[in-house]
Amino acid sequence: MLRFFEKKIYVSAVAFVFTVLFLNQSAAKPIKEYVELEREDLALLIGEKIYKQPGDGCWSCHGSTGIKTETTNLDKDIKNKNIADLRNPASWTSFKIIQKYSGNSTMLSQRDISLSLVRLGAEDWNNELAPLIREYTGSNIIFFDEQMIGIHSKLLKKNARSISRKLKREKVKFKARDVIDIMATSVFYYIEESFIKK
């Protein structure tokens, strides 16, 4: 009887340790993870292409140097409203979100929030991720301005086909469902390399 009781305690202890380890691993993961290219040169090339997309690319609001003063196709009142200076991550809404939340979870890093915004666009980010973060932190949410569309321009499908062809030519293995992720992570890599690190 005593031996059975000891085994039961041992099994319970092992189960508790595995539960703690699993929870720690889960907490260390970001809310959303996206597929990234291993080849930095290719990511930079794709990121630049999507960022500088004529008419509806990121540059139409953020400018070719990442600063809003040279924006085009925008009404003057909108031109200087809520458009982040990509050279200064402390001016981004994602930085304000991180400052508002308590705790230092890697799940809520500024990079992950910003990358998710590029991938989803503000409308989907506000609908999909804001409630998850609210549930995780218990804090009020700072929503993103919906004029921020990320990679979801009117040319999204055309861009996705173009990038798929480029990846095939470069002999990069990928799944069709990952092309949008690759576009977003490449744009964010381009922003990091071209505006933040310079």
Give per-residue pLDDT as tens, 136-172.
Answer: 777 776 778 888 899 998 899 999 999 999 999 999 9
pLDDT at 49: 94
pLDDT at 46: 97
End-to-end CA distance of the chain: 70
Question: Does this model's pTM top 0.95?
Answer: no
Using 70 as the pLDDT threshold, list the residues of the chain that sit under it. Answer: 1-31, 69-81, 101-107, 141, 198
Nearest to 191 by CA among 78, 60, 51: 51
pLDDT at 31: 65
Per-residue tokens: 34: 């996206």
C-alpha span between 151 and 79 (Å, rounded): 19
2 class by beta-carbon count within 10 Å (0-12 exposed, 13-18 middle, 19+ buried): exposed
**Cβ proximity of 34 and 179 under 8 Å:** no
pLDDT at 25: 38
Alpha-helix runs per DSSP H in 32-109: 40-51, 59-62, 76-79, 93-100
